[in-house]
């Protein structure tokens, strides 16, 4: 029924190597321009573990836009939901997501961090009411000018501190 999942890793490889390892897919999702080291995080957001689909991922590919290297991820027969795209935007703010159907790119878009995040990110302030296990407060975080701000305690924090 399902083929064995295939994980392709290209660590520190060039674009040529990455292109070679990352195979074309007929149906599914392709995520490009993932920051170095974040490709597995994106894969987890898309629930690749145990999905039974063919997964190709590469990290450290050459990129003009991302000189430190980029990650690329392709998964067959998985199509991300809007909520998953929001989560991807938090770990890979410049990622471009292509949906492929019947071998053709059906849509390609850049992820965008939503202006309000409900229950997606935890406040970085450990004393915040939204972090209190005794309170059933769902986190509510605003994203303004590249920074997060908590609705409850007003704490500002950066992308690196956000726990997705
Ligand atoms: Zn807070």
pLDDT in tens, 1-29: 333 444 455 444 434 444 455 667 899 99
pLDDT band at 33 (very low <50, low <70, confident <90, very high): very high
Question: Domain ranges in the chain?
Answer: 7-110, 116-161
Right CATH for 7-110 from 3.30.70.140, 3.40.140.80, 3.40.50.720, 2.60.40.1180: 3.30.70.140
Tallying the residues shown for the chain, one arrives at: 164
Single pTM value for the model: 0.77
How many angstroms does the Cα of residue 53 sit away from the middle of ligand 1? Answer: 38
How many angstroms does the Cα of residue 154 sit away from the middle of ligand 1? Answer: 6
What strands, in cross-sheet order, belong to the sheet with 96-101?
Answer: 7-8, 55-61, 70-76, 28-35, 96-101, 104-110
How many angstroms does the Cα of residue 87 sit away from the middle of ligand 1? Answer: 19
Condensed to tens digits (0 to 9), the pLDDT of residues 114-127 reads 999 998 888 999 99
How many angstroms does the Cα of residue 116 sit away from the middle of ligand 1? Answer: 14
Is 116-161 in CATH node 3.30.2350.10? Answer: no
Evaluate whether 119 touches 130 at the Cβ level (below 8 Å): no
pLDDT band at 62 (very low <50, low <70, confident <90, very high): confident
How many angstroms does the Cα of residue 74 sit away from the middle of ligand 1? Answer: 35
- Taking alpha carbons only, the member of 7, 68, 1 closest to residue 38 is 68
């Amino acid at each position: 029924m399902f083929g064995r999942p295939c994980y392709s890793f290209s660590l520190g490889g060039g674009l040529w190597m990455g292109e070679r390892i990352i195979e074309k897919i007929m149906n599914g999702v392709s995520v490009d321009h993932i920051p170095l080291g974040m490709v597995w995080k994106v894969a987890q957001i898309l629930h690749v573990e145990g999905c039974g689909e063919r997964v190709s991922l590469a990290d450290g590919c050459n990129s003009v836009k991302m000189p430190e290297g980029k990650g690329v991820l392709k998964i067959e027969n998985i199509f991300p939901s809007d909520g998953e795209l929001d989560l991807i935007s938090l770990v890979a703010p410049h990622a471009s997501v292509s949906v492929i159907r019947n071998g053709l790119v059906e849509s390609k878009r850049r992820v965008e961090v939503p202006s309000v995040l409900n229950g997606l990110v935890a406040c970085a302030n450990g004393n915040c009411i939204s972090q209190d296990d005794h309170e059933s407060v769902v986190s509510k975080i605003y994203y303004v000018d590249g920074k997060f701000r908590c609705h409850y305690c007003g704490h500002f924090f950066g992308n690196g501190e956000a726990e997705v």
